Structure 1
Amino acid sequence: MNLGLIGQAAVLFAVTNIDDILIMALFFAQGAGRRGTTRAITAGQYLGFAAILAGAVAAAFGATFLPDTVVPYLGLLPLALGVKAAVQAWRHRHDSDEVQGGRDSGPKVLEVAAVTLANGGDNIGVYVPVFATAGIGGMSVHVIVFLALVAVWVAAGRYFATRPAIAKALSRWGHILLPVVLIGIGLLILIQGGAFGR
């Protein structure tokens, strides 16, 4: 394999997915102390990113699953999940930590996948020209590097969520930060995509 191409793929992944580390740290904070949290976040991240890659690869070959006019509306996914999380946080704002811990089973695979897909949906537009010009060999290298780096991103999100100072802040404010971040991502995708007009 060409090391230059691997490096290019790694840089492209990092630049287009840097914000995912914060989102994963928030998901890890939401699932702190619960069994299956790492598995659910990893599976959701891979599921969502596989959908992004499938769309980019198909588009590089000339097929598209979603018209460009629909892509901005992917922002409705994190927006809806953020509103749901905000409503739950508001309803249970007076619960003790023990009650809150028993009430929620942590992040769900499909929720993580939906946020990953919506947050990275605009990356398809960046990946398509790269894939189209790289040829099948180069595209394969990109896909392999991207999928390997998803695991690194999950590990980084978990790492940040388990640092004592960060973990303390996330345990105290994570139930507020997660809805705010998800709603913000949803609105940003909708606005930048022109869902409300240009």
Structure 2
Amino acid sequence: MNLGTIGQAVGLFAVTNIDDIVILALFFAQGSGQRHTTRTITLGQYLGFAGILGAAVAAAFGATFLPEQAIPYLGLLPLALGIKAAVSAWQHRNDPVEQQTASPTILAVAAVTFANGGDNIGVYVPVFATSGVSGMAVYVAVFLLLVALWVAMGRYFATRPAIARVLSKWGHVVLPVVLIGIGVLILVEGGAFGL
């Protein structure tokens, strides 16, 4: 195994997924006190990231599941989830804070992960295509190991007392804002709907 390739994989993953730590922390805050939150978020993160890797590997071999023009429209996923979370927060605005949010679901986490990583596919494809099968296997293995680290870091940040207090008080507001922002950013940067 080439240490240079491992180092490049670590760097590429970190640069393309740094924003996921914030989103993961928000999901952990949303599921705080609920059973199986860590398992749900971990499975959702792996499912979404497997979708990203699957699309990137297939495209590196010349197959594409999504036309390039469709990728910006992935922004509709976090936008819809953000609007849903905002409506829920508004409907439950007078409830005690601990009742204002529902626990995240595997599919919601996966959808946000995949949509937020849609632009990563464009970065991964040329790297995978030029690294050969063995190099691509190293990238995929390192990325999958780092997903676990990212989930652990998201959980760590969400459970720090100062951060946990802020997230428990404002997480039901911040999560929809972040999801809507990600959705709009993906749509605008990709030129969806002529934006």
C-alpha separation in 2, matches of 1:7 and 1:67: 31
1:149 matched to which residue of 2? 146
State yes or no: 1:121 paired with 2:112: no
Q: The residue matched to 2:192 in structure 1 has which SS?
A: coil
C-alpha separation in 1, matches of 2:98 and 2:45: 28
Aligned length: 195
Query: When the two structures are superposed, what TM-score results if normalisation uses the length of structure 1?
Result: 0.97
Superposed CA RMSD in Å reads: 1.0
Structure 1 unmatched ranges of 5 or more: none
1:47 matched to which residue of 2? 47
C-alpha separation in 2, matches of 1:74 and 1:109: 18
State yes or no: 1:63 paired with 2:60: no
2:136 to 139, 154, 162: 139
Identity %: 75
State yes or no: 1:86 paired with 2:83: no
Deviation at 1:197, TM superposition (A): 1.9
Q: The residue matched to 1:35 in structure 2 has which SS?
A: coil
2:185 to 185, 188, 192: 188
1:168 matched to which residue of 2? 165
Query: When the two structures are superposed, what TM-score results if normalisation uses the length of structure 2?
Result: 0.98
C-alpha separation in 1, matches of 2:53 and 2:165: 35
Structure 2 unmatched ranges of 5 or more: none
2:106 to 106, 109, 129: 109
Q: Deviations over 1:162-193 (max 9, x none)?
A: 00000000000000000000000000000000
Q: The residue matched to 1:122 in structure 2 has which SS?
A: helix
